Amino acid sequence: MDEEIHTGETCNARINSVKDALYVLSGKWKLPLIIALMNGPLRFKEIQRSLTDITPKMLSKELRELELNDLIERKVFHTVPVTITYELTSYNKTLLPIIKSLGDWGKKHRKRLVEERRSDPIKV
Amino acid sequence: MDEEIHTGETCNARINSVKDALYVLSGKWKLPLIIALMNGPLRFKEIQRSLTDITPKMLSKELRELELNDLIERKVFHTVPVTITYELTSYNKTLLPIIKSLGDWGKKHRKRLVEERRSDPIKV
DNA sequence: CAGTATCCCTCCGGATACTG
DNA sequence: CAGTATCCGGAGGGATACTG
């Protein structure tokens, strides 16, 4: 019963928790979409332009799934014509550590790959 | 030029870094596999037993991809018959923040969902 | 044991067109 | 604008059998 020793049990629990997180954030566009909304609310078409190349079908689907998990909120303004915006919920902020750690690691990993290739052909 | 303000540029950079990370860790089994190896080196068959239901084809593929990214190391021992083990590299430790944040969030999110459903029918 | 080789199928996601 | 409807290809991944 130490502290963070990995017994088989805690290991499996950890795997399952990670799987849960990955499930909610699965798909090609969910995290990019969330990051795009970190600047503030956007309308459907604006998100499309922001995430170049996402089709309306995909965007609609990803938005719906994120809404179901309380990670974004859809707001309807009864202007003429109607205006609809999407914004991050406060619960979404709990994802920040994930986004930060992924972003940090991705950045460093890319740098690492570049340096590796640069030193490769020289062969000291 | 403040600090962490999200301009369009840093936003895109962040999206790309996150995408890079997700790319390396993509697939159904990579993170579970890494977590399974956090207890120490394992042999092929042992990993299979640890990650119930992964087929040898998938395991082989995921191991190879992780090895190419320097995240695990394959060691050959010339016993008879030959023994092969897989273990995490020291570079793999850099993934810890990702695994931790994903695990933490997944755990809390599941708890949240359970509580939500529990309070749902009561309607205070 | 430590994998490879095939077959097969689901479903993710793109392209395109259409609606209120 | 804010989406939905349809069609479709290809990658991801499972089942099974086989090899050194």
Chain segment B7-54, per-residue pLDDT in tens: 556 898 999 999 999 999 999 999 999 999 999 999 999 999 999 999
The residue that leads in pLDDT, B47 or A1, is B47
Which residue in the set B99, B104, B109 is minimally distant from A24, CB to CB? B109
Q: Answer whether A114 touches B (CB < 8 Å).
A: no
Q: Is residue A3 part of a domain?
A: no
- pTM comes to 0.90
| Tens-place pLDDT, residues A101-118 | 999 999 999 999 888 877
**A46 falls within a domain:** yes
B84 touches strand C (CB under 7 A): yes
Whether residue B124 is predicted with pLDDT greater than 50 in this model: the reply is: no
Other C-beta atoms closer than 10 Å to the C-beta of A33 total 25
pLDDT of residue B2: 44
Q: Is residue B107 part of a domain?
A: no
Q: How many CA atoms lie within 13 A of A10 on its CB side?
A: 11
Q: Is residue A55 part of a domain?
A: yes
pLDDT for the residue A117 = 79
Q: What is the mean pLDDT of chain B?
A: 91
The counts of H helices and E strands in chain A are: 5, 3
Query: What pLDDT score does B116 carry?
Result: 83
- Which of B18, B90, B108 to mutate against chain A (most A CBs within 10 Å)? B18
Q: Tell whether A99 is covered by a domain.
A: no
Q: Min CA distance, A100 vs chain B (Å)?
A: 8
pLDDT higher than threshold 50 for residue A73: yes
- Domain extent, residue A22, equals 8-88
How confident is the model at residue A2, as a pLDDT? 45
Beta strand B42-43 with B83-88 is antiparallel
Which pLDDT score is estimated for A71? 98
B74 touches strand C (CB under 7 A): yes
Residue A97 counted as domain residue:
no
How far apart are the C-alpha atoms of A32 and A53, rounded to whole Å? 12
pLDDT at A69: 96
DSSP code at position B120: T
In this prediction, residue A7 carries a pLDDT of: 56
Domains in chain B: how many in total? 1
Question: Distance between CA atoms of A93 and B41, rounded to whole angstroms?
Answer: 36
Q: What is the pLDDT of residues A22-64, one digit of tens each?
A: 999 999 999 999 999 999 999 999 999 999 999 999 999 999 9
Structure token digits, residue A1: 């019963």
Evaluate if residue A1 carries a pLDDT over 90: no
Does a structural domain hold residue A116?
A: no
Higher pLDDT, A53 or B63: B63
Residues 12-51 of B with CB under 8 A from A: 13-22, 24, 31-32, 35-36, 38-39
Q: CATH code at A68?
A: 1.10.10.10
Nearest in space to B102 (alpha carbons), one of B41, B54, B31, B34 = B31
**B31: in domain:** yes
What are the helix and strand counts (H, E) for chain B?
5, 3
